[in-house]
A and B are shown apart, each in its own frame.
Chain A
Amino acid sequence: MSAENQELTERLELIESMIAEGRRSTAKWAWTIVLWGVAFYVAIAWSTGLFGGPIWGQHYMAWPVTMVGTWLLNVALLRRMHRSAKAPMTTVGRAVMSIWTAMGISMFALLLPLGLSGRADQQVCVAVVATLLGTANAASGILLKWPAQFGCAVVWWLASAASLFGTVTQSTIAFLVAIFLCQIAFGIYAMILESREQRRQGAANA
């Protein structure tokens, strides 16, 4: 290869490496998966009367209060971390965020009127939540080319079907198991991957 071609090839490689570097997110977000898993468990425990006390006695408030509270906490913590990390929002990051925001709004727009109108049925509600979570996980998994996240989508869809075909107890068990696998276990797995990637990047930049 001539010296001129060598230089042009280097330019092409520089473009590719810088695009990849720019897209590599330095923001930590995997904790949000675990946060929402814990929020689901808190809402379930509150709504089924596992917590005592005057406030916890208001079972009808369990889901709206827990979900809105978790959303506010999530937004506040993400903003704080984004500011301190000085990490720019990537195009892929924006796409993933739009999927989860749209899913959250859809869930709220559907479940709140369902609850207020008295048409909510536990098994149907679990199926709706599980299907929507399956959709968001599948879309994110395809976008990020991450089979493990697509696997979570399959678990949520199976939980949705189990909720509709099983008894109320089986529906609850399916929901609890899906939360554990797709929010707690998958979230911790994603956090481990994230910290490994950051260590690798730190070593590369040193």
Chain B
Amino acid sequence: MPELPELNPVIHGKLRLALLSLLLGVEEAEFTWLREKTGSTDGNLGAQLMKLEEAGYVAVEKKFVLRKPQTLYRMTEKGRTALTEYVSALKELLGSAI
């Protein structure tokens, strides 16, 4: 019997999965945009983004635009690969159910 794939625990969290999926279609996104799209709180969003950053799935850039601080997040190649593998594993696990 073939072994079923394991799901990446870093990606499997709902908010982290939503964040990576959002970042997949854009070049980079501001913290405030991600908060608006996910409806998350600042604290929770910051914590989940930090986990993704530690895993190397997102890169962070902090800068000042018109003297206002701006935090930009962008998906890394490692993150893109991890999400692709996660989706493949998810589809394999679901098999004929989808």
Closest CB in chain A relative to B6 CB, distance in Å? 13
Number of interface residues of B (CB under 8 A): 28
Number of interface residues of A (CB under 8 A): 24
Given A8-B93, A12-B91, A86:B30 Cβ within 8 A = yes
A23 to B37, CA, bound (A): 12
**A14 interfacial by beta-carbon distance below 8 Å:** yes
Q: Does the CB pair A88–B32 fall under 8 Å?
A: no
Q: Does the CB pair A22–B37 fall under 8 Å?
A: yes
Dominant secondary structure at the B interface: helix
Q: Does the CB pair B14–A83 fall under 8 Å?
A: no
Q: Does the CB pair B26–A89 fall under 8 Å?
A: yes
Binary per-residue interface labels of chain B (10-33) against chain A in the complex, 1 for a CB within 8 Å, 0 otherwise? 001010011001111111111011
Q: Does the CB pair A91–B33 fall under 8 Å?
A: no
Closest CB in chain A relative to B39 CB, distance in Å? 9
Residue among A1, A14, A23 making CB contact with B25, cutoff 8 Å: A23
**B90 interfacial by beta-carbon distance below 8 Å:** yes
Q: Does the CB pair B90–A21 fall under 8 Å?
A: no
Q: Does the CB pair B97–A14 fall under 8 Å?
A: no
Interfacial chain B residues near A94, Cβ < 8 Å: 27
> Which of A1, A18, A92 has the most chain B CB atoms inside 10 A of its CB?
A18
The 6 closest A-B pairs by CB, nearest first: A18-B21, A22-B25, A23-B25, A88-B26, A22-B22, A88-B29
Report which B residues bind A (CB closer than 8 A).
12, 14, 17-18, 21-30, 32-33, 36-37, 65-66, 83, 87, 90-91, 93-94, 97-98
